Amino acid sequence: MCGTARTIREERMFIRKVLNRPEPLLFVNVRLRKAARDFTILLFTTLTMLGFCGLAGAQTPPGTHLQIQDVGVDFSLKKITILGQMFNFGPGPLTVTLANVGNLTPDCTPNFTATPQTITCDLSGGTPPFPGAGDYLLTVSNGAGNSQIGVWDLTIGAVGPVGPTGPQGIPGIVGLEGQSCPSNSFVTGFSATGTIICSGETDPPPPPSCADTTFSFNTTSSQGAPFSQAAWVGGTATQQQTSDTACTVTVNQPSGAVDLVGGTAGATPWSVNTFAGYSKCFIITVAQPDCSGLSISFSEPVVQNYPTCTSGLCDALTCSTGNATDSMQVVCVQ
C-alpha cells in the first residue's frame, strides 16, 4: 500500500511523451492538463498514504494497568492490606507473593468494589509465617502481561542505624537570649518588638503516635414484627486505638429496611465519618449480613457497602421476626 514510486515514474514518462508527440497544440494542452491533474491527485494520495503508514508505526499511549498504591501492615492482627487499582485487570488468576515468604494468595481476600481496591492477606494462621523485620518485594498479578503485574518494595519493622551528628546550626536571635516563659507555659510566637509570646496554658500534649490499625464494627437491626420489617438502625459508632486514645475513627452505620439494596431511597451504607491521628482511614471489608436471627429470611450479596438480607421479607402482612447483624472493617494508616 505504501510503495507508489513506480506509478509516479510512469506518469512522468507519459507527460514527456505527450510533450514530444506531433499533435495539435489544443489536444496536447488538454492531455497535458489532464496528466498534470492526475499526477497531482496521485502524488497527494501517495503522501497521504505515507502519512498513515508513518502513524501506524507510532507508539500508542499507555492504557489501563494494575497498580499498587499503598501497603499497610497490622502487626497485632498479622494482616497485610494492599491498596491499588485494577487488581482484576487481566485473565487471572489473582496471585499475591512476598519474596522470601512465598505465595500469600490462599490467605488473601480481594475487594474489587472498594475505592481504592484492596487485598487483605491474613497471616495469623502461621502458614506462611508472618514476615519478620526486613525488606520484601511484594508482587500482585492477574496475568502475565506487564500491565497485569504490580510490585512494591515493602519494609516491615526495620529501623536503620543512627546517622552521624549534623552540623551546628546558625545562632538564634540575639535579642531573645535570656527570655523565657513562666512555669507551665510555652512559647506560642514572637511580637513585633522581638519578645517571645507565652501561652497561659500548660505544655501541650505530645502529638498522637497512631500505628496502622484495623478496626472492626458491628451493628444489629431492629426487631422484626408481624406487621413491620427489621431495619438497620443507622447512627454513628466510634473506636479508638488501645495504646493511644487520641487515635480514633468514627463510622456511619447502615440504616433502612434490611431488604433495601444499593442506593434505594431511605437507605444509607457503611461509610467513614471522621478520624483523628491518622492520615487516612478506609473501609476494607463489609461482611455479608447474618440473617439467621430473622425467621424467614436469608442473606444476599453486599452491594456497595449496603448490607441486605432478602427481598420480600413481608408477604400478606406477615413479616419475619427477630434481628439481623452485620459487620465491617476499617483500616487506618499513618
Assess whether 322 and 219 both reside in one domain: yes
Q: What is the dihedral of CA 34, 38, 40, 46, to 10 degrees?
A: -170
User: What is the overall mean pLDDT for the chain?
Assistant: 78
Assess whether 34 and 118 both reside in one domain: no
Assess whether 18 and 72 both reside in one domain: no
Residue 170 in any domain: the answer is: no
Domain span at residue 199 reads 176-204
Count Cβ atoms below 10 Å from residue 209 Cβ, excluding itself: 12
Do residues 135 and 159 touch, judged by C-beta distance below 8 A? no
Tell me the pLDDT tens digit for each residue of 193-237: 667 788 764 444 556 678 899 999 999 999 887 778 888 999 999
Q: What grid cell was written down for 303? A: 452491594
What is the pLDDT at residue 330? 96
Tell me the pLDDT tens digit for each residue of 126-164: 888 899 888 999 999 999 999 999 999 998 876 666 778
Residue 162 in any domain: the answer is: no
Q: For residue 306, give the nearest of 239, 214, 232, 221 by alpha carbon.
A: 232
Assess whether 279 and 321 both reside in one domain: yes
Alpha carbon distance 78, 70 (integer Å): 17
Assess whether 222 and 323 both reside in one domain: yes
Residue 61 in any domain: the answer is: no
- Rounded percentage of the chain residues whose pLDDT exceeds 70: 71
Residue 99 in any domain: the answer is: yes
Assess whether 328 and 229 both reside in one domain: yes
Alpha carbon distance 293, 324 (integer Å): 6
**What pTM was computed for the model?**
0.40
Could you give the C-alpha distances from 312 to 178, 257, 262, 281, in angstroms and in order?
78, 11, 16, 35
Assess whether 195 and 228 both reside in one domain: no
Segment 105-111 shows an average pLDDT of 95
Give the number of domains in the chain.
Answer: 4
Helices (H), 97-249: none
Last residue of a domain, one of 185, 204, 223: 204
Assess whether 217 and 244 both reside in one domain: yes
Residue 190 in any domain: the answer is: yes
Assess whether 17 and 41 both reside in one domain: yes
Contacts of 83 (CB under 8 A, 6+ apart): 68, 69, 70, 71, 72, 116, 117, 118, 282
Tell me the pLDDT tens digit for each residue of 49-83: 444 343 333 343 456 899 999 999 998 899 999 99
Assess whether 233 and 312 both reside in one domain: yes
Alpha carbon distance 16, 295 (integer Å): 98
Do residues 300 and 313 touch, judged by C-beta distance below 8 A? no
First to last CA, the chain: 60
With residue 251 as reference, give the H or E element that holds it: strand 244-252
Assess whether 138 and 250 both reside in one domain: no
Residue 168 in any domain: the answer is: no
Assess whether 93 and 112 both reside in one domain: yes
Residue 186 in any domain: the answer is: yes
Contacts of 258 (CB under 8 A, 6+ apart): 221, 229, 230, 231, 232, 289, 291, 294, 297, 307, 308, 309, 313, 324
Residue 165 in any domain: the answer is: no
